[in-house]
Amino acid sequence: MDKRIITETIIALETAALDAWHNGNPTPYLELYSKDFTYFDPAHEKRLDGLDKIKELYESMRGKVKMDKFEIIDPVVQLTGTMAVLTYNLRSYSGETLWKENCTEVYRLEENNEWKIIHSHWSLTSPSVG
């Protein structure tokens, strides 16, 4: 297992999913999520459990998210066996509005040799400015 290659792969998967998400397309994220996926988000009081729940949420948002640009700040991938944890700060820009978030993604190497996200945790680092 080459740590550099795995790190680059996971950051590339996340970047591609974020790029689509910021253009209103949740499909790349949905394709990255495992069947037993769990999700924490500051907009929800409780954890969402299962791929069906996140699909329902994301489909309700399809086409509604539009950001001008985003930055992944200081990504770190920590590896052990078939698990990898990606953490980073995200800055998303829409006009004069800036969102700052913390992200933790827990990836698992599946039997088909694909990295899937089994847990995602988002939190705001500061209120929206603009």
pLDDT in tens, 67-93: 999 999 999 999 999 999 999 999 999
- Nearest Cα neighbor of 33 from 46, 44, 17 is 17
| Domain definitions of the chain by residue range | 3-129
pLDDT at 58 over 80: yes
Question: In the structure encoding, which two tokens stand for residue 75, read together?
Answer: 């990504």
Question: In the structure encoding, which two tokens stand for residue 70, read together?
Answer: 């985003």
Strand order, beta sheet including 83-94: 48-49, 33-40, 115-129, 97-109, 83-94, 69-80
HSE-CB of 10 using CA atoms within 13 angstroms: 28
pLDDT for the residue numbered 61: 83
Q: What span, in angstroms and rounded, lies between the C-alpha atoms of 28 and 37?
A: 15
CATH 3.40.50.150, domain 3-129, yes or no: no
Question: In the structure encoding, which two tokens stand for residue 24, read together?
Answer: 């209103």
pLDDT for the residue numbered 43: 87
Q: Are 87 and 72 in contact (CB under 8 A)?
A: no
pTM: 0.90
Dihedrals φ, ψ of 96, to 5°? -90, -5
